[in-house]
Amino acid sequence: MSTQHKPTTYTLNELGLSADKLDRHAVSITDRLVKAGFQAYLVGGCVRDLLLGMHPKDFDVSTNAEPEEIQALFKNCRLIGRRFRLAHIHFGRHVIEVATFRGPHIKHDKNDSHAHKDGRLLRDNVYGTLEEDAWRRDFTVNALYLDPKKKTVIDYVGGIEDHQNRVLRLMGDPTTRFKEDPVRLIRAVRFKAKLNFQIDAHTAEPMQRMAPLLKDIPAARLYDEILKLFLNTQASQVFEMLRQYDLFKALFPQTELCLQKAESDSPLLLIKQAMENTEARLKNQQHVTPYFLLATLLWEPVRRLSEQNRSSFSSDTQAIHAAANEVVAHQVSRIAIPKRMTTPMREVWALQPRFHKQVGVRCLRFLEHPRFRAAYDFMLLRSQYGEVDPAIADWWTHLQTLAPAEQKLMTRPSQFKHKKSRKKKPKPSASDR
Contact yes or no for 63/38 (Cβ under 8 A):
yes
Q: Between 419 and 44, where is the model more confident?
A: 44
Distance CA 84, CA 99 (A): 8
Given a cut of 80, whether residue 422 has pLDDT beyond it is no
Domain final residue pick, 165, 187, 219: 165
Residue 50's domain is classified under what CATH number?
Answer: 3.30.460.10
Q: Between 424 and 366, where is the model more confident?
A: 366
For 97-122, the pLDDT digits (tens) are 999 999 886 544 445 445 445 544 44
**What letter represents residue 48's amino acid?**
R
pLDDT mean over 158-175: 95
CA 43 to chain centre: 23
Given a cut of 80, whether residue 425 has pLDDT beyond it is no
3-state secondary structure of 257: helix
Range of 47's domain? Answer: 1-165
Q: What is the pLDDT of residue 52?
A: 93
77 found inside a domain: yes
The number of distinct structural domains making up the chain is 2
pLDDT grade for 126, boundaries at 50, 70 and 90: confident
Given a cut of 70, whether residue 433 has pLDDT beyond it is no
Q: What is the pLDDT of residue 430?
A: 43
Main-chain phi, psi angles of 94, to 5 degrees: -85, 130
Residue 123 β-bridge partners: 114
Given a cut of 90, whether residue 81 has pLDDT beyond it is no
**What letter represents residue 226's amino acid?**
I
379 found inside a domain: yes
Q: Other C-beta atoms within 10 Å of 320: how many?
A: 24
pLDDT mean over 383-390: 96
- CA dihedral in degrees (22, 79, 227, 157; nearest 10)? 50
Distance CA 373, CA 68 (A): 49
For 209-241, the pLDDT digits (tens) are 999 999 989 999 999 999 999 998 999 999 999
Q: Other C-beta atoms within 10 Å of 176: how many?
A: 12
Main-chain phi, psi angles of 268, to 5 degrees: -70, -45
Given a cut of 50, whether residue 388 has pLDDT beyond it is yes
Residue 80 β-bridge partners: 86
Given a cut of 90, whether residue 353 has pLDDT beyond it is yes
pLDDT grade for 4, boundaries at 50, 70 and 90: low
| CA neighbor of 267 nearest in space, from 348, 392, 382, 355 | 382
pLDDT mean over 76-85: 85
Domain final residue pick, 165, 180, 209: 165
Distance CA 326, CA 254 (A): 11
| CA neighbor of 296 nearest in space, from 338, 315, 317, 268 | 268
pTM: 0.84
Q: What is the pLDDT of residue 415?
A: 34
Residue 125 β-bridge partners: 112
Residue 187 β-bridge partners: none
39 found inside a domain: yes
Given a cut of 90, whether residue 340 has pLDDT beyond it is yes
Distance CA 417, CA 423 (A): 18
What DSSP string describes 278-335? HHHHHHTT----HHHHHHHHHHHHHHHHHHHTGGGSSSHHHHHHHHHHHHHHHHHTTS
Active-site positions?
58, 60, 138
pLDDT grade for 2, boundaries at 50, 70 and 90: very low
DSSP letter assigned to residue 212: G
% of the chain exceeding 90 in pLDDT: 82
Q: Strands, DSSP E only, in 137-245?
A: 144-147, 152-155, 167-168, 198-199
Distance CA 147, CA 11 (A): 10
Distance CA 113, CA 251 (A): 27
**What letter represents residue 155's amino acid?**
D
281 found inside a domain: no
Q: Let me know the angle formed at the C-alpha of 58 by 247 and 221, rounded to the nearest 5 degrees.
A: 35
248 found inside a domain: no
What DSSP string describes 160-180? HHHHHHTEE-BSS-HHHHHHH
96 found inside a domain: yes
400 found inside a domain: yes
For 280-299, the pLDDT digits (tens) are 999 999 988 999 999 999 99
Contact yes or no for 379/355 (Cβ under 8 A):
yes
CA 412 to chain centre: 43
Distance CA 232, CA 224 (A): 13
Residue 61 β-bridge partners: 42, 98
Q: What is the pLDDT of residue 431?
A: 42
CA 145 to chain centre: 27
Contact yes or no for 350/317 (Cβ under 8 A):
yes
Q: What's the chain's average pLDDT?
A: 90
Domain final residue pick, 165, 181, 216: 165
390 found inside a domain: yes
Q: What is the pLDDT of residue 96?
A: 96
Distance CA 348, CA 301 (A): 15
Q: What is the pLDDT of residue 387?
A: 95
Given a cut of 70, whether residue 423 has pLDDT beyond it is no
Q: Between 428 and 171, where is the model more confident?
A: 171
